[in-house]
Structure 1
Amino acid sequence: MTVHEERAATARRRPTMRLSTRIALAVGVLVPLLVIAAGTLVVRWVTADVTQRQDAALRQRADHLAPDARALLRAVENDRENAVRARENKLLDGALDLGVRVELPGGPVSAGPQPPPDVKLPDSRHRGPVTVRADGKAWRMVTRPLGAARGGAGTLRVFEPTTETDARTALLRRRVLVVAAFAVPISALAGLAVGAGATRSLRALGRRAAAIEPDDEARPDVHLPSGVAEVDDLGRTLAAVLGRYDTQTARTREALETARAFAATVDHELRGPLTGIRTDLDVLAAYPDLTPAERAEILGDLTAGQERILSLLASLRALAQGDLADEQAFERVDLGELAHEAARDARMRHPGADVVVSAPQEVRVDGLRPGLRLLLDNLIGNALVHGRGRGPDGAASIRIGVDIDAGGARIRVDDDGPGIPVERREEVFERFRRGSDSPGAGLGLTLVAQQVALHRGQVCVGTAPPGPGTRVEVLLPVRRPHEPTGETGEIRHDWLTREPAETAPQE
């Protein structure tokens, strides 16, 4: 199993869940937690506020009872029994519902709600308020020192039960829990509704994407603005991916068509030369007693047929490569330097030819270096074949000019041959159009026209000044334009697949 298949199988085994369900679950869990957290803070704030008010009232009552407690301490110190009872009654009457404990040298005097006597209380130096707990109950206590007396110091302690504060706190906690319990289903339903609304644009995008057919040229746009930034970003990304997919699909289809056309053309064009070669071989086999002159003639025919087959295969391969060329491979190319290289190679192949290059200035264009070199080689090769000079040796004289003007970069190839009639100047760029004396496959100028179209240029045939020779002139843009200039807006990729009679001439 490949890595891709393993990933696909893992993705199928992984449990899936709708986005709206995920949102509902997230909201259903998050909202109650937020309610509990917020309720806990509110309970703490309310408890602190109630406790603060209780402590303020407790301090005030302790300060109010302190003078009576000091009077009681003085009465006990003076040992006046009637005064002691009177002070006790006044102190306890003033305490009302509070718990009061006066610690005297002779023993404590207490009344009201307060902790048991055996509960250890904080030191009298802690004036409070503090919380005292015993037997599951709690009191807030404030302490007031009464001063020194014979036998020890006196202390006033005032208590107030926290029952009311605890009850309010417990009630608030219960209410928070009730609200949290109701918030679970309500928030889940709300989250489901919100999730369904939020994913509506995604579902619409999914339906449009699922309705796309690969070969449907009139398909609707997969991306429609929804107002949701993330969905719009996803839609634009999907549209861009589909655009690249369409481009790649078109290129693949063109490549398949080119391959089929290449095979069909090779089969059609090679049938004649191969039949001739087979006939010559049959003659050689059937007549072993041929004269040397006849045998040499047959061998010459075999060599010419073999060269024609090689030339045809090389030209068809170059034509197929041109149909598959991509503008992404363009680079800056110096046409003058390329022309000198092509001329040097032509002089090496044809030592008697006069090939001269005139490139007075640097001319750089955006293009495919192999394609431009193929263009120059075929122009020079065509001129070498058809531009034989009128001198006694018949050597060709080729003049190549490379310059630049306001229209773009120009390449001119002139020869001294008989020239091309005006009525045939448009058809020389069609496939397999060759003269009776041409040794080639009739694809040289077709390759030139193909490369000119690929570089968004123009090519035309004229008369070389001042004689009857031929001038082929190519005009190329200095830089590749951002917008296509053809009628269809695209570069032609059908030079091998289109029938020869349909191939439009380049002007």
Structure 2
Amino acid sequence: MPSNVVSIRLRLALWYGILSATALFLMAFFSYALFTRSQYVAQDQVLRLSARHVAAGVLGAGRSYILDTKPDSANIVLRLYNANERLVQATPGAEQVPPASPRATITAPAGPAYDSAAALVPALRANPVQSSRNAFGILMVKGERWRQYVLPLKKEDRLHGFVEALTPLGPLDRAVRDLRNLLFSLGAVSLIAVIGLGGSIAKRALAPVARLTSTAGDIAQSGDLSRRVGPVEHPDELGRLALTFNEMLGSLQASSQVQQRFLADASHELRAPLTIMQGNLELLRLHPDMDPQEKHEMLSDVEKETTRLARLVSDMLLLARRDAGVPFRAAPLDLSRIALEAFRNAQRLAGGQVVQATVAPGVRVCGDPDRLRQLILILLDNALKFTPAGRSVDLIVLEDQNHVLLVVQDEGAGIPAADQAHVFERFYRADPGRGRDPGGTGLGLPIAAWIVEQHGGRIELKSGEGQGTRVEVTLKRET
């Protein structure tokens, strides 16, 4: 080996150490940041909810029973001030925190209670919003931080006083500090262990390369040309082994990406219907004597979500076939007949819309009849969902010398220009104005685009807000 070539073993050990150090650092940082931020945000939410409960009682009934009893958590202190900032009432134990000026907190609110590192990552839950009507603050009591939340009591634009909620941050500050120290210690120990193990693993991994090198030396010495060693394309020990390994990884990566995308899509879209079904069934189990009408409505919701779930799974399995590259079966067929069948099915789906068809007779293409029928139904169903009753939805099938034009035109609300570039993406739904279909999956148009693509065609969408939507599919005519 040339003296200027760094050995593979050394490079593997160095890269393994660098990547492991990076991974350990990122894991420790994000673990710390996510935990820290979520805990402090949770504290703020508790304070905010506690203050709102007190405010609701005072403004509604003139007093709050919460102030008369010790809260469930001894770590929450609640105090009621009048409009002149005079302390009127407080929960037991409030004397440990000196009274503060609510107006001063509202005038100069404090930022988040967590440190700058935790601020670099998104929160696991939304931060409570501060405004001129409420504010968070930080108080120092005997060397310990206390989180403060102030909520003005206003009724008919008149200030009646302030509600103040406080909780000590000392236990949480100490827990966060201990976590930071623990992660740092574990990271350092793990890094040392990883580098040591990396060197050992690299040595073992390169043992086959040493055997290949020995074989190549035997060939050179013996001159036995019947023996073969793969070509060496790089000036290091891996040679052809590296290229083969990379090709294998490429194949495995492609397969893994298909599975990961399917699982990601499934986990994203299946969560909502499953949660609704689980919640309704749990209520039915806990309340067997529920009102029959309410029980009927809950079972109806479960049935709707089951139907939606079945449709979603079917659509996702179809897209999984697309990702796996499963081809269609293609044969000459009468597109006019298939279009009229889909049209009759769409008429049954109409909810007051006027469904019309203009289909030239004897239009023939080469393709899969089931998939083409599904394509037309998807386009018609999509048009019906977003077309008000009394408006029309038109299906048009025409042909010229070389091509077939399939058009679905509606008189619905149209699609905003900003959304039109994304309507063929999986799980994408346009703005809430077109979100009148709670059972939609966001997979219809992507499936339609795939079907057209598999038939060697082209699909285009033309729409404008308030002007309806026109989808044009161009297919090759069967001669």
For the aligned pair, the TM-score class normalised by the smaller chain equals: 0.3 to 0.5
Scaled by the length of structure 2, the TM-score of the pair is: 0.43
Q: Which has the larger radius of gyration?
A: 1
Scaled by the length of structure 1, the TM-score of the pair is: 0.41
